[in-house]
Amino acid sequence: MSKILASILLLAGCAAPGGLHQDADAFPEVTSAFQILVQECPPKARLVNVTVGDPGPFLRGVTTNPAPGCFDIIIESSLEPWSKQETLCHEWAHVLVSEAGPVNCDDHGPLWGVAYAECYRALWGD
Ligand SMILES: [Zn+2]
């Protein structure tokens, strides 16, 4: 069971995109990266819940797919701010290539790579 330090953001892909939790200020670097990704690399998923907490031993982040069209991303809370952003970028790419589910966090193949590049460009490219 993962310990959630802060539930950062909810994204409802159709109805109310980018709804902010009240703890959104706890990790502003994650909130700002999330908002850019929602805008520049919008997922077709109904719901992407991003939290900062404990993704599990030896993991910087993890993405799960608890229900069709719904994804939970957990970012390791002890990471440096830039590393939290890079990890969100990595996990967001998993969501983009797993719209129909299930998500496979071990798949870092060509489709994931293209999605990661798009997310990376949105966050740090020109
Ligand atoms: Zn991965």
- Residue written as tokens 């293209």? 114
pTM score = 0.84
When pLDDT is averaged across residues 52-80 and rounded to a whole number, the result is 88
Question: Which SS3 state, helix, strand or coil, does residue 54 take?
Answer: coil
Q: Is the pLDDT score of 33 beyond 60?
A: yes
Residue 108, token pair as written in the block = 């870092």
Beta strands per DSSP E along the chain = 4-12, 19-20, 47-53, 61-67, 70-76
Q: 95: buried, middle or exposed (CB in 10 Å: 19+, 13-18, 0-12)?
A: buried
Q: Is the pLDDT score of 98 beyond 70?
A: yes
CA of 17 to the centre of ligand 1 (A): 24
CA of 112 to the centre of ligand 1 (A): 9
Question: Which SS3 state, helix, strand or coil, does residue 83 take?
Answer: helix
When pLDDT is averaged across residues 93-107 and rounded to a whole number, the result is 86
| Confidence band, pLDDT 50/70/90 cuts, at residue 15 | very low
CA of 120 to the centre of ligand 1 (A): 14
CA of 108 to the centre of ligand 1 (A): 6
Mean pLDDT rounded to a whole number for the chain: 81
CA of 88 to the centre of ligand 1 (A): 10
116 vs 21, higher pLDDT: 116
CA of 25 to the centre of ligand 1 (A): 26
When pLDDT is averaged across residues 115-123 and rounded to a whole number, the result is 97
When pLDDT is averaged across residues 110-125 and rounded to a whole number, the result is 97
Distances in whole angstroms, Cα of residue 88 to Cα of each of 15, 103:
23, 15
pLDDT computed for residue 11 by the predictor? 52
pLDDT computed for residue 125 by the predictor? 94
CA of 90 to the centre of ligand 1 (A): 6
Report the alpha-carbon distance of residue 105 to residue 19 in Å, rounded: 25
